[in-house]
Amino acid sequence: MEKAIFKRYENGYYTFGFENGEDLVFEEINPRVLHHFDLKTDKALIGETFGISYTERYEDDEDDLLVYRIEALKYLLYICSTCLWPSSSNSWFRLFRIANGLVEKWGHLIFFFRIK
C-alpha cells in the first residue's frame, strides 16, 4: 500500500499524487472503494491522504494502453507533533472524538506517527 493524495475526479478518471512527485490517473475503481468513499462528488476528500493499492494491466489493442485500477483505499489520518503530547486530558478526549467520528464515517483509519 502506497501513500497518495487525492487530487480530483473528472470525466470518469481519478487522479492521485504520489510521494515521488508523480500523478497517476485511474480509469477503474473497485466498487467496494466507492461504497466507503464518494470520490466522485465529495469535495472534502480532495487533498486528503490515502493508503492506496492498485493494479495495472495492458489493454490488448492497437494502442497498448496501460489501465490503472484502484483495488483498495484507506484513509490516513496525520496528527501534528503537538498533538502527540497534549497539555491536558481534554485534548486527548477531543482527538479521540475526531478519530471516532471518522471511523464511524469510513469504517477504518490508519495512524502514522512521525517522531523526531
More confident residue, 69 or 59: 69
Tell me the per-residue pLDDT of 79-93, one tens digit each, with 9 for 90 and over: 554 444 444 445 555
- Total domains in the chain come to 1
DSSP labels, the chain: -EEEEEEEEETTEEEEEETTS-EEEESEE-HHHHHH--TTT-GGGTT-EEEEEEEEEE-SSTT--EEEEEEEEEEEEE--HHHHS-SSHHHHHHHHHHHHHHHHHHS--EEE----
Tell me the per-residue pLDDT of 4-39, one tens digit each, with 9 for 90 and over: 999 999 999 999 999 999 999 999 999 999 888 889
Which CATH number goes with the domain that contains 58? 2.40.50.140
**Could you list the residue range(s) of the whole structural domain that residue 27 is in?**
2-112
